[in-house]
Amino acid sequence: MLRISRGESDITLGPKARAALARILDLQGNPALLSITSLAQALDVNPSTLTRLARNLGYSGFGAFQEVLLNASMVSPGAFYSQQAAKALEGGEGRATEALMHLCRENQANIDRFLSMHDDTQFRSAVSLISGAPRVMVYGIR
Which tens digits make up the pLDDT trace of 72-118? Answer: 655 555 666 676 667 666 766 667 778 778 888 888 888 888 888 88
- The pLDDT assigned to 81 comes to 66
Of residues 96 and 49, more confidence is placed in 49
As a CATH number, domain 2-74 is 1.10.10.10
- The pLDDT assigned to 45 comes to 92
Mean pLDDT, range 4-28, rounded to an integer: 80
Question: How buried is residue 84: exposed, middle or buried, by Cβ count under 10 Å (0-12/13-18/19+)?
Answer: middle
Q: Contact at 8 Å (CB) between 23 and 43?
A: yes
- The pLDDT assigned to 98 comes to 81
Selection from 109, 42, 102, 87 nearest residue 69 by Cα: 42
- The pLDDT assigned to 1 comes to 58
Say which amino acid occupies 12. Answer: T
Domain boundaries, the chain: 2-74, 79-132
Q: Is the pTM of this model over 0.85?
A: no
Mean pLDDT, range 43-55, rounded to an integer: 92
Say which amino acid occupies 122. Answer: Q
Ramachandran area for residue 55 (φ above 0: left; ψ -120 to 50: alpha; else beta): alpha
Neighbours of 64 (CB within 10 A): 13
Say which amino acid occupies 121. Answer: T
Tell me the C-alpha distance between 104 and 93, whole Å. 16
Tell me the C-alpha distance between 139 and 117, whole Å. 21
- The pLDDT assigned to 84 comes to 66
